[in-house]
Structure 1
Amino acid sequence: MTGQFKKLSEEKVFKDPVHRYIHVRDELIWKLIGTREFQRLRRIRQLGTTYVTFHGAEHTRFNHSLGVYEIMRRMVKNIEEKEDWDPEERLVCLSAALLHDVGHGPYSHSFEKVFHTDHEHWTREIILGDTQINSVLREISDAFPKKVADVIGKTYDNKLVVSLISSQIDADRMDYLQRDAFYTGVSYGHFDMERILRVMRPTEDQAVFKQSGMHAVEDYIMSRYQMYWQVYFHPVTRSSEVILSKILHRAKHLYQEGYKFKLEPLHFNSLFEESITLKDYLKLDESVIMYYFQMWQEEDDPILKDLCDRFMDRRLFKYVECDPSTQMKIWPELLQLFKEAEIDPRYYLVIDSSSDLPYDFYRGGEEEERLPIHLLMPAGDLRELSRESDVVEAISGKKRTDHKLYFPKDFLEDQTTHAEIKKKILQLLMNQGG
């Protein structure tokens, strides 16, 4: 066991705009940060295409991962002051926090939907596979990589550790809310993290919060609610994500149809063939994707060319509000009219839905992640948050869903061809939007 938990001879410090400083004292963490798999996160934005809406949102998964590590470091320090912890358990926490997003791909969530990938799966593959990260983790013990992977997979034996990185109030969410608010320039995501950390108390299964800190927790819940609807689900960002998804769908369709690209999409071939390896996956980042999108602007296929032009030049689809119950009545007519106007509805008529559940209490048979936030009362008993907070009770279990219909308004306004059909389409769409 000697030498496994080495400290650096001198503390390393990252200057951070959110947490001011990020402190690294453990040799293991410093080595993990230096691996090629972790450095790849510098080339993947935290918020995907949100930069087209909020121009400051250029921060990366690398920024965020360091921030989650720093919050976890402070959480663990607080826990260690209240109970004895195995030094290896501490390193499991810190490593899982640092590496929790290492499996994200470029433009992660849109990318995952098109190619049916899962970043948590790839995170575990990176931790357990033939990688520099795995080699560094194995310096602790041969079993150590699996412990870290199990925390991320929510199967680790110590449920408290899992809750610190994945629950309704955890290190991950506390960092991304503050970080995303900072870089987008909005005020919604700010809350009193210092207070929350001070009133956090460890139990066997999860962290709970002293009742005296309830208002700080309320503020956190409402900040998350506002960030989802004002930033994460912003309709302009969703338009760019729709176009991004359609580019990838079109390129995949052309490849499978035997289309000859001017530039062979070597980085995509295994994705298109659904045979991607870990080595292939780790070669993908947003600089690679943007290179192909730029090159595909010169392709002969008019749909791929147009979609890439739109994405690169920010000529986004317009949208109208959409009520699915009434929209289904006009959908067949819209599809037919788009075809008659020679606009392929598979790529140019898209319903996009977003939904969020800001807070929920546990319901049998549902996601373990929805274990409730508990307050530690003065008498020592635990009370579920919404039972004490009128603010949280008002939004508990209430899933809000928003539907929008996206389309290329510029195509429809160009009435040099199919003028009457395009006028009819516009009328239908405008009526749909109220």
Structure 2
Amino acid sequence: MALRFCKSRTYHDPLHGAISLDGGDAVEALLIRLIDTPAFQRLRRIRQLDTAFFTFHGAEGSRFTHSVGVLYITRRLFDKLARRYAELRPYRAVTLASALLHDIGHSPFSHAGEEIFGCHHEAWTARILREDPQVSTLLAEFDPQLPAQMQQVLQKQFPLPLVGQLISSQLDCDRFDYLMRDSLLTGAQYGHLDLDRIVTVMDYDPETGSLSIPARKGLGAIEHYLVVRYFMYTQVYQHPKSLCARFILDRLFKRAQVLLQRGEIELDPVLTAWLWAAIAAQKGDPFELPLPLYLAADDGLFSYPFRFWAMSGRDPILADLSRRYLDRDLFKARNITHLPEEDRQTLVASVSEKMRREGLDPESYLGIRSAHTQGYSLYAQGIQLQTERGCEEIAQLSPLVRALVKTQQQVWLIFPRPYSDIVEGFLYA
């Protein structure tokens, strides 16, 4: 391990307060240097909540602020456990570096961008750890084993389960931060967690190498956390206005892809490469780009052409969709969950026919979007609590959690407002 120290750093965070990193601590000096890499600084230019700012005007936080917050919570919890269990101390670097860099591979527009372009941030995070010259060098200089260990964490194969559980599990520091942070920034009151209580009750089981939570002390706090997560998804992350904004953003880039293939649009090299990669992904090929082109992209670069497209008359569809996105002239969303599939298709066909008669392209102006919400899923190990009978799944102990296991699906028809009459007429016929 290279003992390289640097000047200490403090980040004044709106959620956690002062987050200080000690430049005299070898691990925290590494974290400071990782934060200063261009690949990590790029996260300042990617919104955490993609299009949610159209609905919640304060939702302007970045992947950068979230990632630093995840590091803060992970350090707080890990250091608490390591003070009691000395055998955990050698894992501090891999745990904290993995927490900091867990989102470094996000595309422009965050999760909306993943849907639009067909890329997956976990895969790109792995590539950045391997291929980015500054990130990979810093990790390897600290410890030659560190890059491989972090790849294991990403793949959920790290031999000490605790490390992966803190980064990505049903009860991880990533979720703790985004639920609390997104609640703060959106003004929604659903995301208030009792983080202090959760951190207090979380423990470590040396026999299994896993997180351990006593049911008697922790059940109520974990139940509350899962209910908070459910309401944030139903009321914030899947808000119909956000779905409409995502739809317009998707159709806008899909139209640009069509024009690119026709040779009817000129774009900067970065966006051109991304759109060709997205076209390939839609055909079933991998989304592939040279890493420098991937890291050159952010929300600002990809939003920059919208104003020019909106002012150009060369393609009316691209111009209109760009103007709508810029001016928040969003489409309308109507919940059609209750309709049988046959009726949904009949409704879409009716609206499509009217659009064609009026010169609108249904492919660009009409669509169905589904939102799936599951307050708790039983994947992997789920959340295990310690009881007098041993380790038990929380869903077996809590009727409230059992109720959250069932997946809730909402289906929305998205369309321009002038077509509300035909939609409402169909629904109430």
1:217 is aligned, of 211, 222, 228, to: 222
Distance 2:360 2:171 in 1: 46
User: Is 1:402 the counterpart of 2:407 in the alignment?
Assistant: no
Q: Is the 8 A contact 1:65 1:98 kept in 2?
A: yes
AA matched with 2:274? L
- Secondary structure of 1:352's counterpart equals strand
After TM superposition, give the deviation of residue 130 of structure 1 in Å: 3.1
After TM superposition, give the deviation of residue 103 of structure 1 in Å: 0.5
Distance 2:265 2:218 in 1: 62
The corresponding residue for 1:421 is none
The corresponding residue for 1:151 is 153
The corresponding residue for 1:375 is 385
For 1:230-264, what per-residue CA distance to the aligned partner results, in whole angstroms no more than 9, with x for missing partners? 10001111111110111111101110111133xx3
**Runs of 4+ in structure 1 over 4 Å off:** none
AA matched with 1:331? V
Distance 2:71 2:150 in 1: 13
User: Is 1:186 the counterpart of 2:199 in the alignment?
Assistant: no
Percent identity reads: 36
The corresponding residue for 1:416 is none
TM-score by length of 1: 0.89
Change (3 A) 1:280 1:383: same
RMSD of the alignment, in Å?
1.8
Q: Is the 8 A contact 2:82 2:88 kept in 1?
A: no
After TM superposition, give the deviation of residue 181 of structure 1 in Å: 0.3
Distance 2:202 2:232 in 1: 23
Q: Is the 8 A contact 1:104 1:122 kept in 2?
A: yes
Distance 1:235 1:51 in 2: 13
- Secondary structure of 2:385's counterpart equals strand
- Secondary structure of 2:12's counterpart equals strand
After TM superposition, give the deviation of residue 383 of structure 1 in Å: 1.8
Q: Is the 8 A contact 1:320 1:433 kept in 2?
A: no
The corresponding residue for 1:390 is 399
The corresponding residue for 1:417 is none
Distance 1:431 1:209 in 2: 53
The corresponding residue for 1:269 is 272
Change (3 A) 1:86 1:206: closer
Distance 2:47 2:345 in 1: 36
The corresponding residue for 1:49 is 51
Q: Which runs of 5+ in 1 are unaligned?
A: 363-367, 413-424
For 1:136-157, what per-residue CA distance to the aligned partner results, in whole angstroms no more than 9, with x for missing partners? 1111223311211221232322
2:315 is aligned, of 283, 301, 317, to: 301
- Secondary structure of 1:354's counterpart equals strand
TM-score by length of 2: 0.90
- Secondary structure of 1:383's counterpart equals strand
Distance 1:77 1:260 in 2: 54
Q: Number of aligned pairs?
A: 406
Q: Is the 8 A contact 1:387 1:393 kept in 2?
A: yes
Q: Is the 8 A contact 1:199 1:209 kept in 2?
A: yes
2:212 is aligned, of 179, 188, 208, to: 208
Change (3 A) 1:389 1:43: same
The corresponding residue for 1:422 is none
After TM superposition, give the deviation of residue 88 of structure 1 in Å: 4.2
The corresponding residue for 2:280 is none
1:80 is aligned, of 60, 79, 82, to: 82
After TM superposition, give the deviation of residue 86 of structure 1 in Å: 5.4
After TM superposition, give the deviation of residue 314 of structure 1 in Å: 0.5
After TM superposition, give the deviation of residue 85 of structure 1 in Å: 3.1
The corresponding residue for 1:21 is 18
User: Is 1:313 the counterpart of 2:327 in the alignment?
Assistant: yes
Change (3 A) 1:380 1:81: farther
After TM superposition, give the deviation of residue 228 of structure 1 in Å: 0.4
The corresponding residue for 1:124 is 126
After TM superposition, give the deviation of residue 108 of structure 1 in Å: 2.0
AA matched with 2:386? L
After TM superposition, give the deviation of residue 268 of structure 1 in Å: 1.4
User: Is 1:282 the counterpart of 2:295 in the alignment?
Assistant: yes
User: Is 1:337 the counterpart of 2:354 in the alignment?
Assistant: yes
- Secondary structure of 1:138's counterpart equals helix
Distance 2:186 2:201 in 1: 29
AA matched with 1:66? V
Q: Which runs of 5+ in 2 are unaligned?
A: 23-27, 278-287
Distance 1:280 1:189 in 2: 36
- Secondary structure of 2:180's counterpart equals helix
Distance 2:38 2:131 in 1: 14
The corresponding residue for 1:255 is 260
AA matched with 2:385? L
User: Is 1:428 the counterpart of 2:422 in the alignment?
Assistant: yes
Distance 1:349 1:359 in 2: 32
1:111 is aligned, of 92, 110, 113, to: 113
Change (3 A) 1:247 1:201: same
- Secondary structure of 1:15's counterpart equals strand
AA matched with 1:318? K
Distance 1:266 1:248 in 2: 15
